[in-house]
Amino acid sequence: MNRRLTRVAIAVLMALTLAGVAGGGPPFRAKPFEFDPNNTGIVLAAWVTHEGLPDAGNSNHALLLVKDGPTVAFASSGATIQGVSGITLTELGYDVRADGHCGAGAPRFNVTMSNDGLHFIGCAASPVTSTLTDPQGNVWLRKRLTAASLASAVIAFPPITPFSGNVVSISIVFDEGTDQGVGFTHLDNIDIDGVLIGKPGNAS
């Protein structure tokens, strides 16, 4: 009986391992947040349907981030990337819709590393690798960063190098307001080490 249970346990463990590999890696998710301690009411963060690139189920989700007020207002929207603690960062990026804001400071990645703390990667500094058009007719700019580009002081401040260690946390922050641009942005296919987050449940 014990041997049979052991064989079953091994079979279950192998199945779970293979499922993880087939699923494309760690279950990264992007959880929207709104930081508005003074109740300004100017920020919004949410996954919205039929505003993004194609995804599973044809719901075409996009992550909408809004700051409908001045940059100086103490408020921001964004998303916390879940499941990244301890990973080695080799690739980072997202697709940003061309009709929204893509500034030097927002939307930006805030990446905290184990050895040297917080790093900022702004939208405008990230190179465009291709353009896409969604089913709704909107144009998107694909921005992707490799380990080599993350180590560049032109892109990341400070640069993320092998000496930075492993990831502690990653978030996306949108805190530039209508005095800097249109006050909103849409993101899709958030790329963490080649795993794309394209909807709330990460079934892109």
C-alpha 117/C-alpha 175 separation (Å) is 21
- Whether the bond between 127 and the residue before it is cis, its omega within 30 degrees of 0, is no
Residue (of 129, 67, 42, 119) closest to 94 by Cα position: 129
Tokens encoding 49: 């349907």
Domains of the chain: 26-197 (2.60.120)
Residue (of 167, 34, 183, 187) closest to 96 by Cα position: 187
The strand pair at 76-82 and 62-67 is best described as unpaired
pTM of the model: 0.86
Structure-model confidence comparison of residues 203 and 131, the more confident one? 131
- Give residue 202's pLDDT band: very low, low, confident or very high (50, 70, 90): low
Q: SS3 sequence, the chain? A: CHHHHHHHHHHHHHHHHHHHHHCCCCCCEEEEEEECCCCCCCEEEEEECCCCCCCHHHCCCEEEEEECCCCCCCCEEEEEEECCCCCCCCEEEEEEECCCCCCCCCCEEEEEECCCEEEEEECCCCCEEEEEECCCCCEEEEEEEEHHHHCCCCCEECCCCHHHCCEEEEEEEECCCCCCCCCEEEEEEEEECCEEECCCCCCC
- Give residue 203's pLDDT band: very low, low, confident or very high (50, 70, 90): low
Q: SS3 sequence, 117-174? A: EEEEEECCCCCEEEEEECCCCCEEEEEEEEHHHHCCCCCEECCCCHHHCCEEEEEEEE
C-alpha 30/C-alpha 46 separation (Å) is 10
> Is the pLDDT score of 119 beyond 50?
yes
Tokens encoding 159: 């640069």
Q: pLDDT per residue over 55-113, tens digit each?
A: 887 899 999 999 999 999 999 999 999 999 999 999 999 999 999 999 999 999 999 99
Q: pLDDT per residue over 136-160, tens digit each?
A: 999 999 999 999 999 999 999 999 9
pLDDT at 204: 54
pLDDT at 129: 97
